[in-house]
Amino acid sequence: MNLNGNTILITGGSSGIGFEMAKEFLAANNKVIITGRNRERLEKAKQKLGDVTIIQSDVSKPDSIKELYAQVSKDFPDLNVLINNAGVMFTINLQDHNLSASELTKELDINVKGTIWMNDTFLPLLKRNKNAATVTVSSGLAFVPLPISPVYCATKAALHSYTLSLRAQLKNTDVKVFELAPPATETELLADFNEEDMKGIATMKVQAMVADFLKGFSKDKYEICPGQASQLKFMSRFFPSFILKQMSKTVDRMHGS
Ligand X SMILES: NC(=O)c1ccc[n+]([C@@H]2O[C@H](COP(=O)([O-])OP(=O)(O)OC[C@H]3O[C@@H](n4cnc5c(N)ncnc54)[C@H](OP(=O)(O)O)[C@@H]3O)[C@@H](O)[C@H]2O)c1
The catalytic residues are 152
Tell which one of 94, 164, 190, 244 touches ligand X (CB under 6 A). 190
Strand order in the sheet with 133-137: 53-56, 31-36, 7-10, 81-84, 133-137, 176-180, 223-224
CA-CA-CA-CA torsion sign (10, 133, 64, 161): negative
Tell which one of 6, 23, 68, 87 touches ligand X (CB under 6 A). 87
Nearer to ligand X, 127 or 215 (CB): 215
Position 136 contacts ligand X (CB under 6 A) = no
Q: Residues, the chain, total?
A: 257
Nearer to ligand X, 95 or 100 (CB): 100
Pure H helices in 28-61 = 39-49
* Helix, strand, or coil (residue 212): helix
Burial class (CB within 10 angstroms; exposed 0-12, middle 13-18, buried 19+) of 57: buried
Nearer to ligand X, 125 or 209 (CB): 209
The mark string for 150-189 relative to ligand X (x by CB under 6 A, - otherwise) is --------------------------------x-xx-xxx
The mark string for 58-77 relative to ligand X (x by CB under 6 A, - otherwise) is xxx-----------------
Nearer to ligand X, 46 or 128 (CB): 46
DSSP 120: H
Nearer to ligand X, 52 or 184 (CB): 184
* Helix, strand, or coil (residue 96): coil
Nearer to ligand X, 36 or 145 (CB): 36
Q: In the chain, what is the straight-line distance between the N-terminal and C-terminal CA atoms, in Å? A: 50
Tell which one of 8, 21, 81, 110 touches ligand X (CB under 6 A). 110
The mark string for 11-50 relative to ligand X (x by CB under 6 A, - otherwise) is xxxxxxxx----------------xxxx--x---------
Window contacting ligand X (CB under 6 A); options: 55-63, 120-128, 167-175, 217-225: 55-63
Tell which one of 22, 86, 151, 170 touches ligand X (CB under 6 A). 86
Task: Determine the Cα–Cα distance for residues 134 and 9; give it in Å rounded to an integer.
Answer: 10
**Residue 131 CB neighbours (<10 A):** 14
Least distance from C-beta 79 to ligand X, angstroms?
A: 17
Q: Give residue 80's identity as a one-letter amino acid code.
A: N
Q: Give residue 196's identity as a one-letter amino acid code.
A: E
Angle at the Cα of 212 from the Cα atoms of 58 and 220, rounded to 5 degrees: 85
Task: Determine the Cα–Cα distance for residues 217 and 180; give it in Å rounded to an integer.
Answer: 9
Window contacting ligand X (CB under 6 A); options: 9-17, 69-77, 94-102, 213-221: 9-17
Interaction site with ligand X (CB under 6 A) = 11-18, 35-38, 41, 58-60, 85-89, 110, 114, 137, 139, 182, 184-185, 187-190
